Structure 1
Amino acid sequence: MLNYIDLSYNKFFGEISPNWGWSRNLKSFKVSHNNIAGSIPSELANATKLEILDLSYNQLAGKIPNELGGLKLLFNLELNDNQLSGNVPTEFGFLSELALLNLAVNRLSGSVPEEFGQCSKLLYLNLSNNKLTAMVPSQIGRLHSLQDLDLSHNLFTEELPSELGYLSSLETLNLSYNQFSGYIPNTFNTMSSLTAVDVSYNMLAGPLPNSKAFRNASAKAFEHNKGLCCNAMMKKSKRKYSKMVLVSIIAPILSTLILLSVILGTFFTRSSRVRNMVEPEGAGERENCVTIRGFDGKLMYESLIQATEDFNPKYCIGRGGSGSVYKAMLPTGQVFAVKKLHEIDDDDEVANLKSFSNEIDALTEVKHRNIVKLYGFCSHAKYSFLVYEYLEGGSLAKMLASEEKAKQLDWNKRIQVVKGVANALTYMHHECFPPVIHRDISSSNILLDSEYEARVLDFGTARILNPDLSKLISFAGTFGYSAPELAYGTEANEKCDVYSYGVLALEVIMGKHPEDLLLSLSLPESIIGHRLTLKDLLDYRLPPPEDPIGEEVVFTIKLAFSCLQTKPQSRPTMNKFLKSFQLENQPHQIH
């Protein structure tokens, strides 16, 4: 009885046989990244138990069959990167379980169906790089669970519907390269979850919303529009205009004196740019702060900037929820990992600097063999970054992504990695007072040394839990690893890290991020024990594990699933998780 098949990443060609539709028990059909041509057979709609359909990255052409809208259990539909044409089927609006829909990079035309507003469980919607026209339907604003919306590179016209501002869970919004006109609606001011936005290459005008996503976005996110501006910019512009008028009627010699004073002021400002953190309390809060243990702060700052060539992307070795990591090799031969943090909004500079300094104070107290050593930090007018020890093994994410390196990470080493991260989190949760929450556990934030010992990186989003402050409303972390309750601003505690750790543990065993598995777990009939076998959960690049390590692999999988419970209180503590590893051949269920 076939219920799961994945033929992705091969060199298959030809067409999809309509006979697949007669596999009535088929729940997942994935043939992405091949050279399959022809059309999508409408007979696939006969496989009424389908939950996952991934035909992306092929050469499929023709229209999308309307019959696919009858797959009532479908929650993941990926038809992107093909040559599909025609309209987007209105029947897709009746896919009530749909969580992910990707139709990007095709030749689709017409308008977006209003019926999409009925897909209440939709989390990800990508219709970019098509030829879609007309107005974006206001019904899209009903998708209150939507987190990622990409409508870029289309032919959309008219004004943006104000209802888009009601997407309370939206984190990423890309409307670039269209023909939108008019003002950006005021409702966009209330999009508190929004972290990334791009409205460039349109015909928009008027003030920008005053939300954090718009304030933090770079100028490229707004370029090539009719006349976008923000209130602060307009006020500055008026002041600059007044000064220009004044200067234009003053004698040239006075202009020369003003210019000279500006040059001298700049010189003295630069000469006092770097200050040590050991200052009277409250002094220099808006100045630049550098402190790197065992090094001259100013000299070290300049050396790191030169070593990374002003943070040139070619030195980037990883990305996390709070910034990017660069390899910096100094002339002395010393090598450091430098995490450049995301830009800080000028309006919040003082508050952010104080919060940043408090975080670093907590980090310097953390000393553990499974936690990357922190040397110091810099909060500068141009850059803010953390300075860590450099580990030759690189990130776990890059190792798993490499066919060659992944094979070097055998089952013994993978269990060692899982235990090492558990050691670090146990220390943070149960041996630090108050407890430390990482909140961004992911494979990109796990570094490996030459002996494949795992060390946890990126405490940029960590918080110290005070007894009287447990609610952290702002979301931090990496998409795909964060506990579901964080998206709703609920209490942030150690159980958030436990969930992320469960995702990470499965990723180590499977060799890839378990995204399909996580989506399946949200359904009443999950894939556990119904669709996947143990073999499906193991990295195919390694030979099957033999006992005794085989028993540890199986036990690790069971413990990882216990970490993915929807209710935080049902997840184990890291202390119990670690202790369970010490119970030989006793795979007890933990609560």
Structure 2
Amino acid sequence: MFLESLNELDLSYNSLTGEIPNSIGNLRNLSILFLGGNKFSGSIPQEIGLLESLNKLDLSKNVLTGGIPYSIGNLTSLSLLYLHRNHLSSSIPQEIGLLQSLNELHLSGNILTGEIPNSIGNLRNLSILNLLDNKLSGFISQEIGLLESLNELDLSGNIFTGEIPNSIGNLRNLYTLYLESNKLSGTIPLSIWNMTMLTTLGLGQNNLSGYVPSEIGQLKSLESLSLSDNEFTGHLPQEVCHGGVLENLTVANNYFSGSIPKSLKNCTSLHRLRLDGNQLTGNISDDFGIYPHLDYIDLSYNNFYGELSLKWGDYRNITSFKISNNNVSGEIPAELGKVTQLQLIDLTSNHLEGTIPKELGGLKLLYSLTLSNNRLSGVIPSDIKMLSSLKILDLASNSLSGSIPKQLGECSKLLLLNLSDNKFTNSIPQEIGFLRSLQDLDLSCNLLAQEMPWQLGQLQMLETLNVSHNMLSGLIPRTFKDLLSLTVVDISSNKLQGPIPDIKAFHNASFEALRDNMGICGNASGLKPCNLPKGNRTVKRKSNKLVILIALPLLGSLLLVIVVIGALFILRQRARKRKAEPGNIEQDQNLFTILGHDGKLLYENIIAATEEFNSNYCIGEGGYGTVYKAVMPTEQVVAVKKLHQSQTEKLSDFKAFEKEVCVLANIRHRNIVKMYGFCSHAKHSFLVYEFIERGSLRKIITSEEQAIEFDWMKRLNVVKGMAGALSYLHHSCSPPIIHRDITSNNVLLDLEYEARVSDFGTARMLMPDSSNWTSFAGTFGYTAPGA
């Protein structure tokens, strides 16, 4: 290079590829080097340590591999070091402690392992330390407390164990502290409550226990507090909102008990409140105040009682209103219809009475309304048709009566409709057949009569159908043969007769799902075959002769047509093959655009690593594709799901698909398998995931030797990890993602038997036209019991 006098070099956010050249070390006068946001691969050259005048170094958002070079310790003038969002591995070198001028250190989103080096305590000028989303382990070093200039500390998404060091309380200038998604245990050290500058404290998704002391009131600047998914006990401290600026309080899934603190009732600054999954009690009418800025509230799975007061209509900014599984009584206030920003209402499993207020029809943004397992009566208001965004309607297990309103057919986005265990009468309205996106329909345990409308056969997305325990009569409509997506069906305890439809769902149905009818027949367990009437046999023999006379003249013409079509097909295949040559790869969709990979290079690497998807590398197979283990040239191991050809043909809207991959690739939780990206090519299309060492839960529990090693403590930890992952998908993703495919095959275990949920978005990506999967994702053709 001939630029030895160069002082600043900024090549960030281009599409540069290849390796960073060793000759970079010749730029001895360089003070600023920005190469972030490219597609650089390979390792960081040791020669980087020759740039002793360097003040700012940004290599973030590339595909760099290997370890952080020890020569980095020579850059003693560095004030800023950005290496985040690469594939850097190995441990953080002790030499990092030589960078005593360092002000910001960002290493998040890599695969760094080992412990935080003790030398980190030498970085006394550090204001930001971000180690988020790595695989760092061991105890959090006491030396962290020496970094008294720190303003931001993020150690989330690692595998740190042990207690939070007491020395952390020395960080009196800290504004933000994130320790979420680790395996920390013990109690919160009292020294934390002396960090009076804190605005954000995130301790969720650990194994922390004990009480939250009243000293929390000393954090008067606290705006966000997350203690969810731990084992905290006792009461919520009275001083929890003592500073009056708390905006986000999340204490879900702990063992908190007692009543709501008065400071929380008067905490008008609240935007988001999650108290779900505890043992809290109190009168819901009296214990909560007016929160003008509140946009999310979840009080589910507690012991709250009392009635829903009219004041809930004053929360004009709320998008999610969840109070399920409590002891709330009284009527649903009509004033809820004024909360026009509402997207989700969940009042399941309470003691609510009265009718469903028609005013709810004004909630144009509402996509989920679940009021099941209450004591509601009366009819479903016809205003239900105004809920144009509705995807989930669950009114099961109430005392609703009258006819099912035909206006439901105007809720064209419905995915789930559950009206089971009520007192609905008359016939099933034919308008239900207009709900072309419907996947789950449950009308069981009602008083429905007459024949099933043939229009139900138009529900080609339907996966589950339950009309059992009614008084339906007549034949099953012939149109049901078109319900090819159907996997679960139950028509038992009716007055149906005649043949069952010739589709897999009915053939595979258990006898329990078909029993107690007036005489249905067909190819299914416990049913008699459908015999032809005697008269039809004679007609059939005569008709055979007629068929032969008609068929012979047509056969010659048919053969000619087949020859012509075959010739056209061969010519078209040759044209396709020419287009799919590797030299024409630029016509493929943008490969690996999500994480900035060099798509062509990684495609070739994966093909080579799997010997073009040789079965020797196969580690599993599912409905959407076959999974292979691939060891990359960097020695990083990934799992590659090669999609079946039938699935890749559905990717008509690649940009929409790419956005879905981007959303899923950015999901970060210690119990969710990371997606690295997607590759599309004329010959192969595949998804690339983090490789999880022990494989599926099913594999372990079906192996006698491994099942013995997999003791009850490990099993309980797996259940907790799965719950944490699902809670994250349901509550922390916006809009929420519902897996709907939880099986033992989709729960993977790492070397430490930590649960990792996989395949939570595959169906959504591969079926973009099946509706808004973001709010209700799952595998086409299967509804998991855990949904």
- With the shorter chain as reference, the TM-score category is 0.3 to 0.5
Higher relative contact order (CA 8 A, sep 6+): 1
More helix by share: 1
**Greater CA radius of gyration, 1 or 2?**
2
Structure with higher strand content: 2
TM-score, structure 1 as length reference: 0.47
